[in-house]
Structure 1
């Protein structure tokens, strides 16, 4: 009897322990894929982009409704504002599938640290979502735009960021995990990719934006926001943003425009880069040396040039080297002289490579960084001129 009682007791306990006590049914939650946070005076306004499952399902015919809905609420804290969304939304917001967080322009200028606490503290938020800054607009406007091709606007924002980073080189993917690392260490500066809303804002929030061949409104990436001690202090141009990615070894591919020896121009495609940064401290004076090795192909020719000659290839290599170096120098001028923000993290390089000497200058780094000497060397190798050597449209001169 004792054995039978023990077995029955164990069976009963297993039945009580089975199942998920914290389970959430799909029809009870609203899946949030994008979150916008704006500063409104002394309060915060949050906007959530919620998926409408019935409109994105491939097994069900569409009803013509929007694939996503947005809801906004205001509170003295981000947490309060999120909870107030329940006054409008039919279901409780669920953030475990969050892909994008957009910070409004007014918020980034006043300081982003207060809004980051909830994103790192709440267990529902993972730390792999991407953070983006709105450029001269609100996060609410960005989140509320419907996008063609991609039914879910958050997917469009995420995909465009990845594609532009790999194919053009002027954007940077920054996750919540990256920000936690940067803002909690000695590196108190960073950059965020910025989105701007171009075209008709009102039309962008309606079905009109996806029903026309040319969308009345569009979301466009426009350089990098420079964040120093949690606040936006400036904006890098598209050219400076490309230079930033060369400095930080974040170029996968890009296009360079160079001039030909006898006039005209040609375009090259960067296919591979490797950036090496070395730091040295001599008598408490730091110096940085940046070496960039570049491989490229000739992409398009609008001039008279004989690509079969070594002289022509040398010219292309040298001109590309000059163009890349100029972009990097413009970036450094902006970061050192205009914004005085070490967003390229030279302090980390010096700390790693000159640990003992770094201790003597780390407390003065904020005042030292603007005057640090940076030497840049760019070596370019042209590997391929395409399927044709010389252009049939620009015949080589005799």
Structure 2
């Protein structure tokens, strides 16, 4: 009887594995080679991470690579080389090569959504003009583990610089499966020679030869990459989506080429679609609160009229940027990456049922009314700028 009662407790550890028996995958890259998939994993070496004070020059990570007809096959084939079972629960970043992204990422979403060991909170990005395998071989500064650098850099960039956005597995699957919005991912750009990036010397000098930086938004139709958005349009898209957590906006001075820099501290947006005379009409409302961050011209910031003038120019600039981004998406890409279709589905499900099969065509010609409201909250720790007394 005692053994019978104890059995449920013992069975709870049937799949227990020791950490020294596992190869912890911090980042993963997927490319294509002909009809096959190329999978690259960045494996963390806990011993080297713990031994930071050691005089050895061994890197804290190693990369392994295999090909397969399927992603699953390539991953399992790595066991012939790694000597440990691959462990994906600590995956931070998945990098997709641009060539594969243009062919389609449906298989990637399938294999990751089926694996119960994979947590869906890792970030997914596209290697811009590069293969994912080359990106994962670059050693990075500040962070010992490149996977952690890629993860934290994207988090910080989204928080401080609006053109970047974090997209997790759950979000990407949701956008891909939805009829009313098309998916999009942040691009990852590698600058410099790949060969130099693989060497320890890349992080031993004050200036790195090879760097990784996030750049632009990859626009998808269904599961296929179709184009890239530039920085200005990427930022405007995030304003529409309400994704801007912080950024900098530059407003032209009343005369000359100088600027006033505004620090965006918070914002919110509201998107809607109404049907008039049988046709959809979109609306976007964006509310922004900002502080004065820098002044390059002679302005009297202590006067309310000056602040009102800056707010007016900021509103005009923001509205123009959003209009240009929406126009670019409608005319060049002809797809809805904003989610106007989802908004229409919520507000008018009967009409949505009629147009959902050709919604992207409807969206491409849909007029969108934009209203912006920029309010300046603070001018900084000084009222009068030193620029007031300078020629």
| Residues 1:254 and 2:247 are matched in the alignment | yes
CA contact (8 A) 2:180 2:356 kept: no
Q: 1:337 aligns with which of 315, 331, 354?
A: 331
**Cα deviation code 1:92-150 (max 9, x no counterpart):** 21111111100001001111112221111122222221111110000001111110110
CA contact (8 A) 2:61 2:145 kept: yes
Residue 205 of structure 2 is matched in structure 1 by: 212
CA distance in 1, matches of 2:326, 2:204: 44
* 68 and 62 in structure 1: CA distance in 2 versus 1, 3 angstrom threshold: farther
Residue 3 of structure 1 is matched in structure 2 by: none
Residue 41 of structure 2 is matched in structure 1 by: 48
Classify the secondary structure of the residue corresponding to 1:189. coil
| Residues 1:267 and 2:286 are matched in the alignment | no
* Structure 2: segments with no counterpart, 5+ residues: none
* 261 and 32 in structure 1: CA distance in 2 versus 1, 3 angstrom threshold: same
* 318 and 24 in structure 1: CA distance in 2 versus 1, 3 angstrom threshold: same
| Residues 1:148 and 2:141 are matched in the alignment | yes
Computed over aligned residues only, the root mean square deviation of the Cα atoms, in angstroms, reads 1.7
CA contact (8 A) 1:54 1:62 kept: no
Q: CA deviation at 1:12?
A: 6.5
Q: 2:131 aligns with which of 122, 130, 138?
A: 138
Residue 387 of structure 1 is matched in structure 2 by: 381
Residue 31 of structure 2 is matched in structure 1 by: 38
Q: CA deviation at 1:289?
A: 0.9
CA distance in 1, matches of 2:353, 2:12: 54
Aligned length: 390
Q: CA deviation at 1:89?
A: 1.7
Normalised by the length of structure 2, the TM-score is 0.96
| Residues 1:75 and 2:74 are matched in the alignment | no
**Cα deviation code 1:282-327 (max 9, x no counterpart):** 2320011111111111111111111122221111101111221122
Q: 1:231 aligns with which of 193, 201, 224?
A: 224
Classify the secondary structure of the residue corresponding to 2:212. strand
Classify the secondary structure of the residue corresponding to 1:88. helix
* 35 and 141 in structure 1: CA distance in 2 versus 1, 3 angstrom threshold: same
CA contact (8 A) 1:390 1:396 kept: no
CA distance in 1, matches of 2:245, 2:202: 32
Q: CA deviation at 1:19?
A: 5.5
* 257 and 60 in structure 1: CA distance in 2 versus 1, 3 angstrom threshold: closer
Normalised by the length of structure 1, the TM-score is 0.94
| Residues 1:297 and 2:282 are matched in the alignment | no
| 214-223 or 85-94: bigger deviation | 85-94
| Residues 1:65 and 2:74 are matched in the alignment | no
| 110-119 or 59-68: bigger deviation | 59-68
Structure 1 segment 14-29 matched on structure 2, within 5 A: 17-18=10-11, 20-29=13-22
Q: 1:277 aligns with which of 271, 277, 281?
A: 271
